[in-house]
Amino acid sequence: MTVFPSRIEHGLPLAEKLRLVPWGFVLVVTLLSLLGVVMLYSAGGASWQPWAATQLARVIPGLVLMLGIGLVPLRLWYRSGFWLYGAVFLLLLGVAVAGHTGMGAKRWIRMGFFVLQPSEYMKIALALVLARYFHNLTFEQMANPLRLLLPAMLVIVPAGLILLQPNLGTATLLVLVAATMFFLAGMRWWQILPLAGAVPFIFDFGWKYLHDYQKKRLLAFFNPEQDPLGSGYNIIQSKIALGSGGLFGKGFAMGTQSQLHFLPEKHTDFIFVVLAEELGLTGAALTLFLFMVLIVFGAIISLNARRQFGRLLGLGLTAALFLYVLTNIAMVTGLIPVVGIPLPFVSYGGSMMLAFYIACGLLISIAVHREDPLPLPKNH
């Protein structure tokens, strides 16, 4: 028994497309989205304001958008890859020139009634453009280093702009998603090892240009008790909340660290800690299980794609989801420094939610249109 039907004709009617939608995947996204609303209701003091009502208002349009994107033929996403990348890149330039500053960082740009964070959409645009570029290369052509110069620049330039905002966490994850796609596209080990060897030198060079608060966060990772009321405060309070939750938690909306406002950024970066304190290890494990199911679904969808473009795009987007979840959980449990990465679908944030609805919509499109005709690589 296959997970997805193997025969898809061109020009499918809407009813047939809806039948091919992986509804289990949609269900898991919906459950995680609703879980986010519930936890934001708790974080707001058992109140719809200031976060839960706004988040709920984003869920239904987001799910509709996700399904709408999923019904668009994959070949149209293939054709529009460079255009979408260019549009997001211009938005990033707009942030650098006339961006909106908040909490000491310039990461947002006003678009009429909306405030967008373009860095959240760059991971989608980058996955699209890299998948298209690598789709047109044979495995033998991937061995030519000159072939990798253009995609490398497509990664380095936006990552640099994001780093200047400053947004170290998002820039790092963007590079990691791209590195995953380079490897999956057929990059050789002898091409990867020199880059890996350069990491310590890059870190040493980059350390000089980090902001003071970023340096303090990194140093607090090794010894948070050295500055318990400053740079170490976040992770100390997070660990207290996590440990106090026990097996079944303190009860919904009854977490002392979150309800008494000891826990910082409880509606964004540390929403998982609110959940773990109130619902305990059981609730935290169930949440991680939902994310695991979503990631496995994404991998299955990608590996079932008939075309290289669909496979690479799907695996790149799945890698982005995995890295975001991994980074957020590792961050709030003290396994890595605090880097300000939200938890997909659960944390409060419009741009982040919309970006992941778009990513999941593209995964649905890969599942529904996995036999879409696409150009073969040159010299195939």
Judged on CB neighbours under 10 Å (0-12, 13-18, 19+), 75 is middle
- Our measurement of the distance from residue 302's CA atom to the centroid of its chain's CA atoms, rounded to an integer in Å, reads 17
Rg of the chain over all Cα atoms, to the nearest angstrom = 21
* Low-confidence stretches of the chain (pLDDT beneath 50): 1-10, 380
- pLDDT of the residue at 27: 97
HSE-up (13 A, CA, CB side) for residue 167? 28
End-to-end CA gap in the chain: 32
- pLDDT of the residue at 205: 61
φ/ψ (deg, to 5) at 103: 55, 35
Residue 60 domain flag: yes
Residue 106 domain flag: yes
User: What residues make up the domain containing 199?
Assistant: 14-368
Of how many residues is the chain composed?
380
In the block, residue with structure tokens 């396994």? 335
- pLDDT of the residue at 303: 94
Residue 73 domain flag: yes
- pLDDT of the residue at 25: 97
Number of domains in the chain: 1
Residue 4 domain flag: no
Of 349, 331, 330, nearest in space to 340 by CA: 331
Residue 174 domain flag: yes
Residue 327 domain flag: yes
Of 327, 302, 331, nearest in space to 173 by CA: 327
Residue 378 domain flag: no
Residue 321 domain flag: yes
- pLDDT of the residue at 154: 94
